[in-house]
Amino acid sequence: MQLNEDNRQIRLNVFIHGTGHHEAAWRHPDMQPRQTLDISYYRHLAQVAERGLMDSIFVSDAYFGKINKLEATTLLGALSAATSHIGLIATVGTTYYEPYHLARQAATLDHISGGRAGWNIVTGSADETAFNFGRAAHPEHAQRYQLAKEFVEVAKQLWDSCVEGVAVNDAGSTNGVGSTRHYEVKGPLDAPRLPQGYPVLVQAGSSESGKAMGAEMADVIFTAQQTFEAARAFYTDVKGRLPAYGRKAGELLIMPGLCPIVADTLGEARELEEELNQLVHMEDALRRLSRRFAADLSSYPLDGPVPLHLAKSLGEINSLKSRQSLLLELIEEEQMTIRQFVHRFANGRGHYAFTGTAVQLADEMEKWFHSGAADGFNVMPQIFPSGLEAFVEKVIPELQNRGLFRTAYEGASLRERLGLKAPAQHCKV
């Protein structure tokens, strides 16, 4: 099922992240940080999102330094039993996994959820991850993307290594996957073909390598863009790459991150924003942000300018290169002080942060959607669960009133609900 261009509607994913996407959400008096280990907390968030008819929920993952962080695929497997329609997207990194392992996990999630699985493809972002896997350092950026491309191709071959409805288990079968430069996997996968063929493939890198990989392989791109102009330029760039891979514009959905604080009045929304900003632990925030500079920002006056001349170049960064570029451009354009930089990063982590009423936010979303900046949004409430509840109760009805968002779930799978075509049948017989 692929939607006609005239019937396009906004696609909405909710990014579930701890107690919220604001850096200080966990310090808010209404929060109980240990609830992020409680399945009932996640069940509530998933059910609120499903009540709002959102397309999917997304759980990121990392393999170092996270406190109270549950493994994404296991968590979504549990949530599949608590929901009926909403898509379930998990981050699994390619650098420290094996294709067979990922292919089996994704197949299991797709089967038990009835065709609602998605895979967010990342390459990893830190040496700390490498240390947890017995490696001396995180692989270089270009190498990681070459590995990731081969990894995805092998995973697809594994999902194709079956006939409809049954797994191939004949030891003499010719359904083996074969090899690439870095992987050799005999196969086949020990599961029937997935309800969706492949899980929905999501990609979140916005570097040159990330954009190229997304244009070639992804169904959805999650991206961080701070302004409408930057989002539209990114959208035009990536969509313009699709014909080189024999793809049409509607075969890839681009969904920028959106970090909303929504209330009945602008004053109430700003009050909550200020409350959260006041809870930021300045020393910790400066320590984290200083990693992007060749100096400790805490030695500079908070209300003085950000020392841009000390920012690390992209060549000195081996991860999140596009985020570094985005932040430096924003600091220069707005002539930020260090305090403003800390607060801006705290309430969006490089994504577009919005504070206002439901009508104001719907206006902004409609502008991005109709003006070639977004096919939908990766909604990142700054505080959970209240921020998600406010979005579902206030913003979604406004979008529905404008004919921009569904009023009932359609289709049986996540692919169908996103208007994405099923992959061609390549099962070997």
The CATH code of the domain that includes 186 is 3.20.20.30
Q: Which amino acid is at 387?
A: G
pLDDT digits (tens, 9 = 90+) for 390-429: 999 999 999 999 999 999 999 999 999 999 998 986 555 4
pLDDT digits (tens, 9 = 90+) for 326-357: 777 777 778 888 888 888 888 877 799 999 99
Q: How many CB atoms lie under 10 A from the CB of residue 337? A: 17
| CA gap 178, 165 in Å, rounded | 22
> What single string gives the DSSP state of each residue in 233-268?
HHHHHHHHHGGGGT--GGGSEEEEEEEEEE-SSHHH
| CA gap 98, 179 in Å, rounded | 13
Whether 141 has a binding-site annotation, put simply, is: yes
Say what the pLDDT of residue 309 is.
79
Torsion angle, alpha carbons of 312, 315, 321, 326, to 10: 50
Does residue 385 lie within any of the structural domains? Answer: yes
DSSP secondary structure letter of residue 413: S
Please say whether the beta carbons of 207 and 141 come within 8 A: yes
Over residues 295-304, the mean pLDDT reads 86
Does residue 301 lie within any of the structural domains? Answer: no
Residue 122: which of 237, 248, 218, 231 has the closest Cα? 218
Distance from the Cα of residue 170 to its chain's centroid:
38
Query: Across all residues in the chain, what is the average pLDDT?
Result: 88
Residue 377: which of 228, 233, 242 has the closest Cα? 228
The β-bridge relationship of strands 166-167 and 253-262 is unpaired
Does residue 428 lie within any of the structural domains? Answer: no
Over residues 283-295, the mean pLDDT reads 80
Whether 206 has a binding-site annotation, put simply, is: yes
Whether 179 has a binding-site annotation, put simply, is: no
205 phi, psi to nearest 5 deg: -90, 140
Say what the pLDDT of residue 63 is.
80
Say what the pLDDT of residue 320 is.
58
Does residue 323 lie within any of the structural domains? Answer: no
Does residue 159 lie within any of the structural domains? Answer: yes
Q: How many residues does the chain have?
A: 429
Q: Tokens in use for 407? A: 């009023």
| CA gap 176, 260 in Å, rounded | 47
Kindly give, in sequence order, each residue whose CB lies less than 8 Å from that of residue 232, ignoring residues fewer than 6 positions away: 368, 371, 372, 373
> What single string gives the DSSP state of each residue in 45-92?
HHHHHHHTT-SEEEE---SSS-SS---HHHHHHHHHTT-SS-EEEEEE
Range(s) of the domain holding residue 359: 5-262+349-417
How many CA atoms within 13 Å lie on the side-chain side of 92? 27
The β-bridge relationship of strands 352-356 and 253-262 is parallel
Does residue 249 lie within any of the structural domains? Answer: yes
Over residues 67-77, the mean pLDDT reads 90
pLDDT at 274 over 60: yes
Please say whether the beta carbons of 203 and 220 come within 8 A: yes
Distance from the Cα of residue 147 to its chain's centroid:
20
pLDDT digits (tens, 9 = 90+) for 113-148: 999 999 999 987 777 788 888 887 888 878 889 999
Say what the pLDDT of residue 359 is.
98
Say what the pLDDT of residue 123 is.
87
Whether 108 has a binding-site annotation, put simply, is: no
Does residue 377 lie within any of the structural domains? Answer: yes
- How many domains does the chain divide into? 1
Over residues 34-53, the mean pLDDT reads 96
Does residue 281 lie within any of the structural domains? Answer: no
Three-class SS state of 408: coil
Q: How many CB atoms lie under 10 A from the CB of residue 283? A: 9
